[in-house]
């Protein structure tokens, strides 16, 4: 049932199930959907990639999302305390997840700051006709020592604004801050991004882009790396096994339809991912058309390069460019911000619970420390170079280790899986069957273990 019962003593709650679902989708739908999924899908077999992707969604994404929800909702705390309540020794796992969140948040904020600057730049296409030189030189001052402090032009002010906003929203709390943000931000994102996709579909060459993205290369299905890429994408994209969904679920009222919400969140996130694929590849098709090359010959189709070099280049060449630019960078900023808030909330609540702080004290102290690290590392030249390494480590290795540990702890060490299943089923309409136990206890850790070995091998190779 979706009926709600009173909050547990003293703990804040989302005001409604809808508020929780919107916030959870806001966390999931982030930069990873916009700049990571399209390129990963294209390189992983195009249309054929949807098979491993959907299998990863159903065999790991949804089951582990349920696990996160169950842990948070049953034990009513952010990751460290929730795991501790489950099994004393598991508190360390919660701190490991919190550490990953902290690291990701420090560079995620920087990218949102860039998006804000570029939103502003869109109105007069400040990047001119050499978007690459503008990004690395004029904007980031790569090669100049120290932090760039140029107002608006540099990363400093937008980055300060991002962290200040995060602190204010977290201090306002779960219902008045985080939920409000998502209730406004998510519809805005969907509307803005849909407008962008519609516009992109009308550009000459759009269909070539879509063909490039969706034409299946069935051979990819026999490549283990493609499967690994699909599982990695699902993990990062759904924000699972980071402890985030544990803290979000911990603020759900006692009687809340957890599993059905999980299904909505999982499918909504993947739908947004597909929409992003369509928007990005239609635009890339247009770029290829302008340059008289094939889509396959284009470079810079993922990550920061896609967003801050390739997109500005295309935008400058299209009719209605300012609007398109504003929609693109506005979407990046909102999608990123509604994810960033979940990352920092996870860290902040963990410290709040550990040291008995008020939510304001926790938000201010965690926010300031993160902002300083964010500045020191990623708004400086040397830090930028570290971004990629950090990203590799946190996303590829950190999260896989965390997911394996979580499965092993819950099923084999703390042996709470049956309790958690009972808990989910007691509150939800979608019943979790017994299949869940071997999926979490065997399938997931074994597959993730293979993934880990492969990733470590790739990194040291
Ligand atoms: N899911 C977000 C994305 O796709 C990123 C994220 C990862 C957010 C982990 C929170 C936690 O970009």
Decide if pLDDT at 146 tops 70.
no
Please give the pLDDT value at position 329: 98
Does the CB atom of residue 131 touch ligand 1 within 6 A? no
Q: Which of 25, 26, 30 to mutate to test the pocket of ligand 1 (most atoms within 8 A of CB)?
A: 30
**136-145, 196-205, 324-333, 393-402: range with lowest mean pLDDT:** 136-145
Q: Whose CA is nearest to atom 2 of ligand 1?
A: 30
Decide if pLDDT at 143 tops 70.
no
Residue matched to tokens 């990203």: 391
Mean pLDDT of the chain: 92
Does the CB atom of residue 342 touch ligand 1 within 6 A? yes
Report, as an integer, the average pLDDT of 75-104. 96
pLDDT category, 150, cuts 50, 70, 90?
very low
Please give the pLDDT value at position 184: 98
If you measure from the C-alpha of residue 413 to the centroid of ligand 1, how many angstroms do you get, rounded to a whole number?
28
Does the CB atom of residue 398 touch ligand 1 within 6 A? no
Please give the pLDDT value at position 379: 67
Decide if pLDDT at 422 tops 60.
yes
Q: Whose CA is nearest to atom 11 of ligand 1?
A: 239
Say what percent of the chain tops pLDDT 90: 81
The pTM for the full model equals 0.94
pLDDT category, 140, cuts 50, 70, 90?
confident
Which 8-state DSSP code applies to residue 6? Answer: P
pLDDT category, 389, cuts 50, 70, 90?
confident
Per-residue CA distances from 395 to 97, 204, 332, 448 (Å): 11, 36, 19, 13
Burial pattern 134-158, b for ≥16 Cβ within 10 A else e, equals bbbebbbbeeeeebbeeeebbbbbb
Domain 17-460 CATH class label: mainly alpha
Please give the pLDDT value at position 238: 95
If you measure from the C-alpha of residue 210 to the centroid of ligand 1, how many angstroms do you get, rounded to a whole number?
25
Where along the chain do its domains lie? 17-460
Per-residue CA distances from 12 to 31, 65, 153, 284, 375 (Å): 28, 22, 39, 45, 31
Residue matched to tokens 């979706």: 2
Decide if pLDDT at 381 tops 50.
yes
The total of other beta-carbon atoms located within 10 Å of residue 417's CB is 19
> Residue 95 has which token pair?
């701190």
Atom of ligand 1 nearest to the CA of 339: 8
147 φ, ψ to 5°? -90, 140
Report, as an integer, the average pLDDT of 141-154. 54
If you measure from the C-alpha of residue 268 to the centroid of ligand 1, how many angstroms do you get, rounded to a whole number?
14
Q: Which residues contact 144 (CB under 8 A, 6 or more apart)?
A: 381
Rounded Cα gap, residues 171 and 158, in angstroms: 20
If you measure from the C-alpha of residue 28 to the centroid of ligand 1, how many angstroms do you get, rounded to a whole number?
5
Cα torsion angle, 195, 196, 199, 205, sign: negative
pLDDT category, 137, cuts 50, 70, 90?
confident
Please give the pLDDT value at position 410: 98
Please give the pLDDT value at position 102: 94
pLDDT category, 395, cuts 50, 70, 90?
confident
Report, as an integer, the average pLDDT of 439-454. 94
If you measure from the C-alpha of residue 31 to the centroid of ligand 1, how many angstroms do you get, rounded to a whole number?
7
Does the CB atom of residue 30 touch ligand 1 within 6 A? yes
Decide if pLDDT at 173 tops 70.
yes
If you measure from the C-alpha of residue 133 to the centroid of ligand 1, how many angstroms do you get, rounded to a whole number?
29
Contact 350, 80 (CB under 8 A): yes
H or E segment at 66?
helix 62-75
Does the CB atom of residue 98 touch ligand 1 within 6 A? no
Please give the pLDDT value at position 151: 35
Please give the pLDDT value at position 9: 61
Decide if pLDDT at 145 tops 60.
no
Contact 449, 277 (CB under 8 A): no
Residue 41 sits at the vertex; the CA angle it makes with 107 and 228, to the nearest 5 degrees, is: 75
The answer to ipTM > 0.85 is yes
């Amino acid at each position: 049932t979706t009926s709600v019962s009173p909050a547990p003593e003293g703990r804040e709650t989302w005001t409604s199930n809808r508020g929780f679902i919107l916030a959870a989708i806001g966390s999931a739908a982030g930069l990873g959907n916009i700049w990571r999924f399209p390129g990963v899908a294209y390189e992983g077999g195009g249309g054929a990639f949807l098979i491993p992707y959907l299998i990863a969604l159903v065999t790991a994404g949804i089951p582990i999302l349920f696990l996160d929800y169950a842990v948070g909702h049953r034990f009513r705390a952010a990751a460290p305390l929730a795991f501790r309540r489950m099994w004393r020794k598991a508190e360390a796992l919660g701190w490991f997840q919190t550490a990953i969140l902290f690291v990701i948040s420090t560079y995620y904020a920087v990218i949102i700051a860039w998006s804000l600057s570029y939103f502003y730049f869109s109105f007069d296409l400040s990047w001119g006709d050499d978007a690459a030189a503008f990004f690395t030189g004029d904007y980031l001052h790569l090669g100049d020592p120290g932090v760039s402090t140029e107002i608006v032009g540099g990363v400093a002010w937008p980055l300060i604004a991002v962290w200040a906003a995060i602190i204010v929203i977290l201090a306002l709390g779960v219902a008045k801050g985080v939920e409000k943000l998502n209730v406004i931000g998510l519809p805005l994102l969907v509307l803005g991004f849909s407008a962008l996709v519609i516009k992109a579909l009308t550009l000459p060459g759009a269909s070539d882009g879509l063909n490039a993205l969706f034409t299946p290369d069935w051979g990819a299905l026999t490549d283990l790396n493609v499967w690994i890429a699909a599982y990695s994408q699902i993990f990062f994209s759904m924000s699972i096994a980071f402890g985030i969904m544990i803290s979000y679920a911990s603020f759900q009222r006692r009687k809340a339809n957890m599993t059905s919400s999980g299904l909505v969140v999982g499918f909504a996130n993947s739908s947004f991912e597909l929409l992003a694929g369509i928007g990005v590849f239609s635009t890339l098709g247009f770029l290829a058309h302008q340059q008289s090359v094939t889509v396959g010959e284009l470079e810079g189709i993922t990550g920061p390069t896609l967003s801050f070099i390739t997109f500005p280049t295309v935008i400058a060449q299209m009719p209605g460019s300012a609007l398109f630019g504003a929609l693109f960078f506005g979407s990046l900023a909102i999608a990123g911000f509604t994810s960033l808030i979940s990352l920092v909330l996870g860290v902040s609540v963990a410290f709040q619970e550990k040291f008995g702080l008020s939510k304001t004290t926790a938000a201010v102290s965690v926010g300031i420390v993160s902002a300083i690290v964010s500045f020191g590392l990623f708004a400086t030249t040397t830090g930028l170079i570290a971004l990629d390494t950090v990203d590799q480590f946190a996303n590829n290795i950190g999260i896989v280790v965390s997911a394996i540990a979580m499965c092993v702890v819950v099923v084999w060490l703390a042996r709470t899986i049956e309790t958690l299943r009972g808990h989910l089923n007691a509150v939800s309409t979608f019943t979790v069957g017994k299949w869940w136990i071997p999926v979490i206890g065997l399938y997931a850790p074994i597959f993730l273990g293979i993934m880990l070995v492969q990733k470590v091998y790739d990194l040291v190779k």
